[in-house]
Structure 1
Amino acid sequence: MNRMAMIRFGVACYLTLTASAFARQSTGENTLAWQYHPNRAGAEAYMQGGAYSAATGNLTSMLFNPAGLAQMPGRFSFMLETGWASRTDLFRFFNIDITTGFQPVQFAGLAFQPQRGFSLGAFFTQPTNYEVDLREIRTTALTTTAAHAADEPQQQRNEIAIGVAGATAVTPQLYFGGSVEWRRARMRNDIAQAFVEGEDAGLRFSLGVIALVQQWQFGVSAQSRYEAASALPAVSSRFVREEPAAIRLGLTTPAILQRLHLSAETEYKNFDADVPIKKWQFYGGGKLALSPGMQLGFGAFTFLKDYSAFIDGPESEIFLTTGATIRLSSFHISASYLDGDLLNKNFAGQRFLNLALGYTIP
Structure 2
Amino acid sequence: MTTANGTTMTIGGSSRVQYGALQSVTAFKVTEPRLTQPVSAADPAGTGIFQKCFNVILYYRALVEGETGWAFSGWIKESLGRAFTEQPLLCGRLRRGEDGSGGELEIVSNDSGARLIEARIGMTLDEFLGSERRADGETELVHWKDIDEQNPQFCPLFYILVTNFQCGGYSIGISCSLLLADPISTINLIKRWATIHNDLNLIPGVNAPRKPIFNLSNTKHGDSPVTSLAPSPCPKTIQTVVFKVDAVDAKASGELSKVLALLCVEEAEKKLKNKMGPKFALLVKEESGNVKAECVEKSGAVQARSEMATTEVNLESLGLSGVAFRRGNEPALVSQWVASGDGFVMVVPCGGSDGGMPGFNVFVTIPRE
Query: Shared topology, TM-score over 0.5?
Result: no
The two structures have a TM-score, normalised by structure 1, of 0.27
In terms of fraction of residues, the more strand-rich structure is 1
- In terms of fraction of residues, the more helix-rich structure is 2
Q: What's the TM-score once normalised by structure 2's chain length?
A: 0.26
Specify which structure has the bigger relative contact order, considering alpha-carbon pairs within 8 angstroms and separated by 6 or more residues.
Answer: 2
